[in-house]
C-alpha cells in the first residue's frame, strides 16, 4: 500500500480516492468496518464516518484506523478533511499525530479549482469567507470561523503556525527555513495557504524535499498532487477498470439526493429539465413526523419512483427543494426532542431504505448518490463492503463499482461539488454515453 487515506465521510473518501485513480493508481474505498481490500491496490481509502459524532468518538475511530495503516506499512498517510472545515478536525488530527508521531502535520484544506481557497490563513468558499458561507448554516456541524489558525486552536491544544502563499512561492529555501524554525519552536501543526492550484503542488514538492516526516492533511485538492512525488510516482499507470458486464446499460438510473446546498438544488433543477428524467420529492418533515405520516410518505414516494423506473425513466429521489424544507424537518424533529444531527441521520436512514427497496425491484444502469449521509446509508443498505474507483465524472465526482453485496455501478458526490450539469453527466456516464 503506497498511500492510505483516512476520511471522515463517504463522499470525501470517494472524491479523494478518485484523484489517485486519475494518476493511474489502483484505488478502493473500504465501507463500514472493512479494512482489507479484495485485491492488490496501490491506495486504500477508509471512511471513519466521524464528522458528526462526538470529539472523543471521532478520535477513537481515527486512532483505530491509523494504527491499522501504520501496521500495514503504508507509505504516505493522508488525513482527508472536509474542504469547508466541518467536523471534528482537531480531534482527528490529534489522533493522527498520536499514532504516527510525525515531525509535522501538514494541513492544506484548499481546493482552488473547486472554489476553496486559503489566503493568508483565511478560508474562502467561492470567494466568500467561510463563516459567511453556507458552511455556517450546516445543520449538524456549522463553521463560524474563517481564520484557520483560530478555528483549529478551538479544537486542539497543540501549537499551530501557518505558511502563506507568498512564502510558498518564494520556494524551497524560504519554506525550509520556516519549517526548521517551527521544529525548533516545537510547533507541529502547520496550515498552508492555497490561493492557486500551483500552491498545492508546491507544498507537496517542497515539503517532501525537506525530508521531514509528515502526515498530510487536507481536502481532495492536495491529495491529487501526491502521486506526482514520493513513492507513488513509481507506480505505472493502469488501464481503467472494465465496466461491469452484467448491468443493462439501457436500464434507467436512480438518483438519491440528500443535500440541500444551493449547488445541489441547481443541479436537481437542471437534471429535472432533461428528457426521460422524473423527480420525486420526499417530504422531509413527514419522514420525521408521526409513524403513520412517515409510512404514508414512504409508500407514496416509492410508488411514484417505482412506476417511473419501470417505465424506463431515470428517477431523482430528493428530500429538499429549498432551505425552508430543511427548516420544517428540523422543527418537526425538535418537537420530538431530537437534535439537528439526529434529524439528519433519521432522514438519511429512511432515504437509504427507500433507495434499497427500489433497487430490489428494478434493474438499473447504476445509482447516483449526493450527500455523504445519503451515500453511506444507501451503500450500507445494499450490503456493499468496498467501492472500487474507476474514474471521475467531473473533478471530485467519482464513479466506481460496489462489491460485497449488490454489485452495482455508482457515482457519489458531495453536496456542494460539481457543475450544474453534473447529475445529467453522471446518468450519461453510467449508461456509457459520456459524450452526450
- CATH number where 369 lies: 3.40.980.20
Q: What is the pTM of this model?
A: 0.83
Residue 34 binned pLDDT confidence (cut-offs 50, 70, 90): low
Domain boundary among 234, 261, 283: 234
| Same domain (yes/no): 288, 141 | no
Cα–Cα distance for residue pair 17/3, rounded to 1 Å: 10
The answer to whether residue 381 is domain-embedded is: yes
pLDDT in tens, 162-193: 999 999 999 999 999 999 999 999 999 999 99
Domain boundary among 200, 234, 268: 234
The answer to whether residue 436 is domain-embedded is: no
| Same domain (yes/no): 230, 294 | no
| Same domain (yes/no): 188, 294 | no
| Same domain (yes/no): 148, 199 | yes
| Same domain (yes/no): 128, 60 | yes
Domain boundary among 179, 207, 234: 234
Which pLDDT belongs to residue 31? Answer: 85
| Same domain (yes/no): 173, 86 | yes
The answer to whether residue 239 is domain-embedded is: no
The answer to whether residue 245 is domain-embedded is: no
On the CB side of 339, CA atoms within 13 Å amount to: 8
- CATH number where 102 lies: 3.40.50.10840
User: How many structural domains comprise the chain?
Assistant: 2
Q: In what order do the strands lie in the sheet with 128-129?
A: 116-119, 122-125, 128-129
| Same domain (yes/no): 275, 320 | yes
The answer to whether residue 435 is domain-embedded is: no
The answer to whether residue 333 is domain-embedded is: yes
Rounded to 5°, angle at Cα 108 from 102 and 112? 160
* Domain interval for residue 215: 3-234
The answer to whether residue 89 is domain-embedded is: yes
Which pLDDT belongs to residue 22? Answer: 83
| Same domain (yes/no): 28, 126 | yes
Comparing 37-46, 93-102, 272-281, 399-408, the range with the smallest average pLDDT is 37-46
| Same domain (yes/no): 188, 274 | no
Cα–Cα distance for residue pair 403/321, rounded to 1 Å: 32
| Same domain (yes/no): 133, 164 | yes
Which pLDDT belongs to residue 385? Answer: 86
| Same domain (yes/no): 14, 111 | yes
DSSP state of 402: E
Asked whether residue 291 carries a pLDDT value surpassing 70, the answer given is yes
| Same domain (yes/no): 267, 227 | no
Cα–Cα distance for residue pair 123/110, rounded to 1 Å: 8
Asked whether residue 234 carries a pLDDT value surpassing 60, the answer given is no
Amino acid at each position: 500500500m503506497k498511500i492510505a487515506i483516512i476520511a471522515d465521510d463517504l463522499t470525501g473518501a470517494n472524491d479523494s480516492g478518485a484523484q489517485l485513480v486519475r494518476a493511474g493508481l489502483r484505488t478502493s474505498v473500504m465501507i463500514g468496518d472493512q479494512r482489507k481490500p479484495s485485491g492488490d491496490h496501490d491506495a486504500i481509502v477508509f471512511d471513519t464516518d466521524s464528522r458528526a459524532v462526538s470529539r472523543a468518538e471521532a478520535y477513537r475511530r481515527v486512532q483505530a484506523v491509523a494504527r491499522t495503516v501504520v501496521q500495514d506499512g503504508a507509505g504516505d498517510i493522508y488525513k482527508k478533511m472536509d474542504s469547508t472545515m466541518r467536523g471534528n478536525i482537531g480531534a482527528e488530527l490529534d489522533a493522527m499525530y498520536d499514532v504516527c508521531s510525525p515531525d509535522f502535520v501538514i494541513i492544506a484544506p484548499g481546493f482552488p479549482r473547486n472554489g476553496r481557497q486559503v489566503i493568508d490563513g483565511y478560508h474562502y468558499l467561492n470567494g466568500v469567507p467561510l463563516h459567511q458561507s453556507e458552511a455556517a448554516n450546516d445543520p449538524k456541524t456549522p463553521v463560524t470561523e474563517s481564520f484557520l489558525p483560530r478555528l483549529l486552536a478551538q479544537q486542539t491544544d497543540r501549537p499551530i503556525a501557518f505558511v502563506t502563499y507568498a512564502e510558498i512561492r518564494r520556494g524551497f529555501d524560504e519554506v525550509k527555513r520556516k519549517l526548521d524554525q517551527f521544529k525548533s519552536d516545537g510547533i507541529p501543526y502547520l496550515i498552508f495557504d492555497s490561493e492557486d492550484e500551483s500552491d498545492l503542488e508546491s507544498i507537496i514538492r517542497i515539503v517532501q524535499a525537506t525530508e521531514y516526516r509528515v502526515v498530510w492533511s487536507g481536502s481532495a485538492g492536495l491529495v491529487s498532487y501526491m502521486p506526482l512525488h514520493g513513492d507513488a510516482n513509481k507506480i505505472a499507470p493502469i488501464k481503467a477498470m472494465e465496466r461491469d458486464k452484467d448491468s443493462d446499460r439501457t436500464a434507467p438510473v436512480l438518483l438519491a439526493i440528500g443535500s440541500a446546498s444551493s449547488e445541489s438544488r441547481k443541479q436537481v433543477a437542471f437534471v429535472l429539465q432533461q428528457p426521460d428524467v422524473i423527480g420525486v420529492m420526499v417530504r422531509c418533515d413527514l419522514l420525521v413526523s408521526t409513524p403513520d405520516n412517515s409510512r404514508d410518505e414512504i409508500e407514496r414516494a416509492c410508488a411514484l419512483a417505482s412506476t417511473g423506473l419501470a417505465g424506463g425513466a431515470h428517477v431523482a429521489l430528493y428530500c429538499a427543494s429549498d432551505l425552508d424544507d430543511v427548516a420544517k424537518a428540523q422543527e418537526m424533529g425538535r418537537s420530538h426532542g431530537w437534535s439537528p444531527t439526529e434529524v439528519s441521520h433519521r432522514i438519511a436512514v429512511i432515504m437509504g431504505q427507500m433507495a434499497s427497496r427500489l433497487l430490489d425491484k428494478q434493474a438499473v444502469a447504476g445509482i447516483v448518490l449526493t450527500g455523504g449521509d445519503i451515500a453511506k446509508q444507501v451503500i450500507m443498505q445494499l450490503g456493499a463492503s468496498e467501492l472500487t474507483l474507476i474514474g471521475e465524472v467531473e473533478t471530485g465526482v467519482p464513479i466506481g463499482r460496489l462489491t460485497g453485496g449488490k454489485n452495482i455501478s455508482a457515482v457519489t458526490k458531495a453536496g456542494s461539488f460539481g457543475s450544474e450539469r453534473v447529475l445529467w453527466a453522471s446518468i450519461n456516464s453510467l449508461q456509457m454515453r459520456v459524450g452526450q
